[in-house]
Structure 1
Amino acid sequence: MSSTSAAPSPPHIDEMRLDHLVEGYAGDPGPHESCDGLRFVDVDLTGRDLTGAMFTECELVGVGANEAQLRASRLVETRLERLDAPVLHSSRTTWHEVRLESSRLGAVEMYESELRNVAITGCKLSYLNLRGANLRDVLVTDCVIDELDLDQATAERVAFHDCRIDTLQVHGARLTDVDLRGADLSVVGGLDSLRGAVIDAEQLLMLASAFAQHLGVRVVD
């Protein structure tokens, strides 16, 4: 018989190696265009229409992408470092083997997206909208997220290490091996849908009043 106290399965994150990349230019990516084996450094993609674009084995460093249209785009074996985008339109995107590092992002629309083998490290995000998204093997480390919206999302083997999440929304989410123990949580919405998540004793105490209110239990000293 399995134990309810068993540790969750961790995300499976593969090592990424990007060798022999060729210099990329701002004019290379476009709507439904494919970029393969390119390295973009300090490129400004502000406001660009990149709908349906595909980046494969690419590296983007110091790229500005405010108000860029990345809907339905695909990122495969790609590394993003110091991405700057107060607003990023990237709904229904596909991220397979992606590394997002040391980036500052504001409102990020990634609803109904698919994330596989993704590591997010050292980032600051104001609002990450992953409603209805499908996440598998995602590791978030040393990040500050003002609001993480996982309403109606499906998440499997997702873990947070040394993170702060001010508001976590999980209404209608389907969670499996989602490890929240490394996240400093302030507000959690959708307590009914926390099944499949793992929290520690301190987090349980922090959420005790919310659980009691949700269950209609009065706590009287």
Structure 2
Amino acid sequence: MARASVSPAPPRVSAPDLPRHLKRVEPARGADLLQATLHLSGDVDLAHSSLEQCLLTADAERVDLTGATVLDVAAKDLRIASMSLRNAGIRRLRITGGRIGTLDLSGSRLDELEIRDVRIDYLTFGGAKGSDILIADSTIRTLDLPQAEITRMAFVACRSDEVDPRGLRAKDVDLRGLDAEMFTDANGLRGTTLTTFQIQKLAPAIAAGLGIQIKD
């Protein structure tokens, strides 16, 4: 007899493939960077760059990676007010430690993203298409998922004040490890997995969406 598939299927993430020795380089817009280490500070323009097998650290106000290609990149102990990866192509990006004000992944194409032990004020996947995303041991004040298409995403020991899933197209999205104070739209949670306690908290929003009055 065939074994039943696990549902929700867990994300398949792996560590970035980094060489033992990396060369120190300076960031530049449109740069083609291979096997490099970068320390980012101030306002950094890396828009439309290619980063492959790179290590990033940062104490910066703004980091612009709009339209960048990111492959096998590790980012550690980031201190960034605003980081944009809008419309970027990402494969195997691991972000560990630090604090980010705004992390903008809207419109990006994601394959293997891991975020671990990071505090983020605002994280948006708006309109992104992604698979194999793991977020662990992190605090996200506002999590935005509008019109995103996500496959195999999981949270472990995370919390959020507000989650906006409007228009989310989800498959194997596991929210059981996300302690969220509020989901703005229960209808957007189709295709996700929640705990019984989370459903109880969502009951008023679900009822309102169905046109049900709750009166005691």
TM-score range, shorter-chain basis? over 0.9
**Identity of aligned pairs, percent?**
27
Whole-Å separation in 2 of the counterparts to 1:82 and 1:94: 22
1:82 CA drift (Å): 0.7
TM-score by length of 2: 0.92
Aligned equivalent of 2:13: 13
Equivalent residue for 1:142, pick from 124, 137, 145: 137
Which whole-Å deviations, capped at 9, do the CAs of 1:142-191 have from their partners, x for residues lacking one? 01001111100000000000000211111111000000000101111222
CA contact (8 A) 1:44 1:65 kept: yes
1:110 CA drift (Å): 1.8
Whole-Å separation in 1 of the counterparts to 2:73 and 2:182: 32
Equivalent residue for 1:168, pick from 163, 166, 169: 163
CA contact (8 A) 2:55 2:73 kept: yes
Whole-Å separation in 1 of the counterparts to 2:124 and 2:100: 12
Segments of structure 1 that go 5 or more residues without pairing to the other structure are 1-5
Aligned equivalent of 1:101: 96
Pair 1:102–1:77, CA change in 2 (3 A): same
Whole-Å separation in 2 of the counterparts to 1:137 and 1:153: 14
1:108 CA drift (Å): 2.0
Alignment pair present for 1:133 and 2:118: no
Residue identity matched to 2:30: H
1:73 CA drift (Å): 1.0
The runs of 4+ residues in structure 1 deviating greater than 4 Å are none
Segments of structure 2 that go 5 or more residues without pairing to the other structure are 1-5
CA contact (8 A) 2:187 2:206 kept: no
Whole-Å separation in 2 of the counterparts to 1:173 and 1:184: 19
Whole-Å separation in 1 of the counterparts to 2:42 and 2:66: 14
1:69 CA drift (Å): 2.0
Alignment pair present for 1:159 and 2:154: yes
**Count of aligned residue pairs for this structure pair:** 211
Residue identity matched to 1:33: A
Q: How does 1:88-127 map to 2 (within 5 A)?
A: 88-127=83-122
Residue identity matched to 1:44: L
More strand by share: 2
Which of 183-192 and 160-169 deviates more? 183-192
Q: How does 1:1-221 map to 2 (within 5 A)?
A: 7-25=7-25, 27=26, 29-40=27-38, 43-61=39-57, 63-221=58-216
TM-score by length of 1: 0.90
> What SS is found at the alignment partner of 1:156?
strand
Which whole-Å deviations, capped at 9, do the CAs of 1:72-115 have from their partners, x for residues lacking one? 01211010001111112321112211100002100222210111
Which of 50-59 and 6-15 deviates more? 6-15
